[in-house]
Structure 1
Amino acid sequence: MRDSQKILAAWDAYSDEHTDLDGWPYDDHAYGMRKNQRDADTAEAFETLRYGARHLLATAETQLAQLPDNTVQSRWFYQLDVLHTALDRLDELHEQWLLTRDALTTTAKPGTVEFDDALAEHHAQSWSYLDDWATHGKVLREVNTAARKARSPLVPTQALATARRTAARK
């Protein structure tokens, strides 16, 4: 997620320097090429997270359900929902990419226009969902941190107080 945030920051800097005040690129071709690179880099950065993403979401939801209400930020529910939706859509787009890739001619290999254009289109379709992960993914750390700091729901407050008094007497 940090890599995705760095990629987005680099893109924002590039876009600011290479567009006019209305947001129109000075050089459409160069801008498009750089945008394709941003999309590909973001997709690559997410690959290390992709296969564990559902587990991370499930863990965060379990932790969130066990947190005391006064430690929960309401935005966490929204952010986890955004991540779920984005991951579902990314999975759908990945399946579509596999079908598209399999339908390419036998001469379409990485480095050929046919393959590279199809892959660039896939990355462009995926980018906004990958951006959702870069933007909202920090909620996973926030919920985990809150869960680690919270008292365990398995230890009643009375038992904890008694254990502390006993330890203090020794």
Structure 2
Amino acid sequence: MTDSKKILDAWDAYSEAHTDLDGWPHDDHAYGLRASQRDADTLTAFEPLRYGARHLLDTAQTQLAQLAENTVQSRWGYQLGVLGDALDQLDELHEQWLETRDALPLTAKPGTTDFDDALAEHHAESWSYLDDWATHGKALQEINTAARKARSPLAPAPARVPARRTAARK
């Protein structure tokens, strides 16, 4: 999710530079366009992960259940829940986008107002769930790392070195 982190950092810098002290944009139109670009970029960054995300979540759940309690971060279960809920919402929004796109007039193609406005709305609706993945997605790596470091119950025990005898020789 490093691309998402870069996108969010760039957005934060833009937002800070283009809003007043109360957080209101200096130029609503320009700010809205930049927010729309952030939304689209975030969705684009998530796309390569999207189709394997459910498998990643299932794997992390399995790994988490097998880890020793003293190696588990208390936040991991919560984070996996947030990621699962966000993925459910993203799947639903994707289906809604496909229905919306299919209902557009035949003249509505990328670059036309009808298409671009509908797509921008889809991106805006998806953004908070994508942000959840950007924020909590690192838990998947952390759980995997913990699982790799944990000794498998099937792994052979380390060889024991026999204790040396220190009896004096006569």
Deviations 1:25-54 (A, max 9, x none): 000000000000000000000000000000
User: Normalization by structure 1: what TM-score?
Assistant: 0.93
Output the CA distance in 1 between the equivalents of 2:46 and 2:32: 21
Q: Point out 4+ residue stretches in structure 1 off by more than 3 angstroms.
A: none
Q: Identity of paired residues, percent? A: 77
Higher Cα Rg, which structure: 2
Match in the other structure for 2:149:
149
Letter paired with 2:130: L
CA distance in 2, matches of 1:110, 1:75: 41
Superposed, 1:120-135 pairs within 5 Å as: 120-135=120-135
What displacement does 1:154 show?
Answer: 2.3
Structure 2-normalised TM-score? 0.93
More helix by percentage: 1
Q: Residues 20 and 26 of structure 1 are in contact (CA less than 8 Å); yes or no, is this contact kept in structure 2?
A: yes
Q: CA deviation at 1:3?
A: 0.4
Per the alignment, residue 67 of structure 2 pairs with 67
In structure 2, the gaps of 5 or more residues are 163-170
Alignment of 1:49-128 (within 5 A): 49-128=49-128
In structure 1, the residue matched to 2:157 is 160
Deviation at 1:166, TM superposition (A): 6.8
2:166 matched residue in structure 1? none
1:76-129 Cα deviation digits (max 9, x unpaired): 000000000000000000000000000000000000000000000000000000
Would you say the 8 A contact 1:66–1:153 is kept in 2? no
Give ranges in structure 1 of 5+ residues lacking alignment. none
Question: What is the aligned length?
Answer: 163
